[in-house]
Structure 1
Amino acid sequence: MTTPDTRPGIPTRGPQLTATQVWRQLQRSSFAVISYRTPAGDPRSSGVLYAAEGRRLYVVVATDSWKARHIAVDGRVAVTVPVRRGGLLSLLMPIPPATISFHGRATVRPAGEPEIGALPGRVARLLPTERRASSTIIEIAPEGRFATYGIGVSLQRMRHPAAARATVPVADR
């Protein structure tokens, strides 16, 4: 167990975020690392492009991909979205990304379901016309709480874990 740093000038409390603020950040981002288990129980993770729409994340993958086959087995996933910080300053010094992490339930939608016209605009753009028949859509519904690091805080405060961490319910109450 860790204890908060109580030295003078060291913040001991993280940002007060809302689910709406976290969802807004998820909608601005497009890359995530999705983790899942193989049917044999081995851990796997993969980088994916996603679109956030209606409090869900959508990922387009090849129908015969490991992600499509393995996630369909039990539908449990963990997702981490790195959020680039620092602007031009990040070109001069190593600034780690902020992150949003959560676990959720994933539904693997077979190729051709739903019809491309029924998909929200951001999701439809992930699915090129030439890949519609050979792609699967994975719909991810976050559950529980988001765990964030560095969201809603200055780069200076990111240096202090207690000041940079927050947990937020996935839905505003």
Structure 2
Amino acid sequence: MSTSTRGGRRTSPLTAQDVWRAIGHASFAVLSHVTPAGAPRSSGVVYAVEDDRLYVAVAKDSWKARHVAADGIVAVTVPIRRGGLLSLIMPIPPATVSFPAVAVVHPGDHLTRMPRLARLVPPERWPACVILEIRPTGHFVTYGLGVPLTAMRDPARSRARIPTGR
């Protein structure tokens, strides 16, 4: 990331590009929304990033496809693994990026034009899929991104709020 730290302090602010780079290196997120009946729902999803958007393949008949199509308002949290090999022997919390977003449901045939996402879905499941295109809105809210592990104990140093646009 272009953000550097000195003595545990951030010397330059995180940018949207820094956040997109971190999101692009991950592939798992938690997608949340409210059902038409007002009930909260969240689900883990595997995604691919292209052109400042996340793309998720889901079953045509899934609650995600039905409910997201109803209003398109979602929230996303992406955990970003930290600690390298040390995280294998010690419990190190991930950094996170959270943001509100608008989601649009596209036909599953979009997979043929999206090789990054297509690699995540077995070809035999393609006919039963639709694609969620998720466009962040507002701000990314980060925790622990661009700071050393020791700074994660200090909320003021470990959190950032960055506009999602480039």
Is the TM-score greater than 0.5? yes
Query: Which one of 6, 19, 41 corresponds to residue 16 of structure 2?
Result: 19
The Cα shift of 1:164 comes to 0.4
Find out whether 1:171 has 2:165 as its counterpart.
yes
The Cα shift of 1:14 comes to 9.2
Q: How far apart, in 2, do the equivalents of 1:75 and 1:14 lie?
A: 37
Partner of 2:4: none
Question: Which runs of 4 or more aligned residues in structure 1 lie more than 4 Å from their structure 2 counterparts after TM superposition?
Answer: none
Unaligned runs of 5+ in 1: 1-8
Q: Secondary structure at the match of 1:88?
A: helix
Query: Which one of 87, 91, 100 corresponds to residue 90 of structure 1?
Result: 87
Q: How far apart, in 1, do the equivalents of 2:75 and 2:140 lie?
A: 11
The Cα shift of 1:53 comes to 0.9
Partner of 1:3: none
The answer (yes or no) to whether the contact 2:75–2:100 under 8 Å persists in 1 is: yes
The Cα shift of 1:64 comes to 0.7
Q: Which amino acid aligns with 2:148?
A: S
Q: How many pairs does the alignment contain?
A: 160
Query: Which one of 61, 64, 68 corresponds to residue 64 of structure 1?
Result: 61
Query: Counterparts of 1:69-84 in structure 2 under 5 Å?
Result: 69-84=66-81
Find out whether 1:118 has 2:113 as its counterpart.
yes
The answer (yes or no) to whether the contact 1:14–1:166 under 8 Å persists in 2 is: no
The Cα shift of 1:38 comes to 1.0
Q: Which has the larger radius of gyration?
A: 1
Identity fraction in percent: 59
Q: Which amino acid aligns with 1:100?
A: V
The TM-score, its normalising length taken from structure 1, stands at: 0.86
Q: RMSD between aligned alpha carbons?
A: 1.9
